[in-house]
Amino acid sequence: MSSYIVGHLPEDQGPVTSIYKEVRKVPFSFTSKKNEAESAAEGSYVYVIVKEKEGRKNIFKLAYSYKCTECFRKAGGKWLGKFDYKNTVEYEKDGELKLLDPPLAITDSDFISWYKTKALGMRVIPTEYESVLKAMLV
User: What SS3 class is residue 130?
Assistant: helix
Distance CA 65, CA 27 (A): 8
Range of the domain at 82: 3-136
Q: Look at residue 13 in the predicted model and tell me its pLDDT.
A: 86
- What total of structural domains would you count in the chain? 1
Distances (CA, A) of 99 to 18, 38, 42, 84: 13, 23, 21, 24
CATH of the domain at 64: 3.10.590
pLDDT in tens, 39-98: 999 999 999 999 998 999 999 999 999 999 999 998 889 998 899 999 999 998 999 999
Question: What is the value of pTM for the model shown?
Answer: 0.94
Residue pair 6/115 in contact by the 8 Å Cβ criterion: no
Q: Look at residue 122 in the predicted model and tell me its pLDDT.
A: 94
Q: Look at residue 12 in the predicted model and tell me its pLDDT.
A: 82
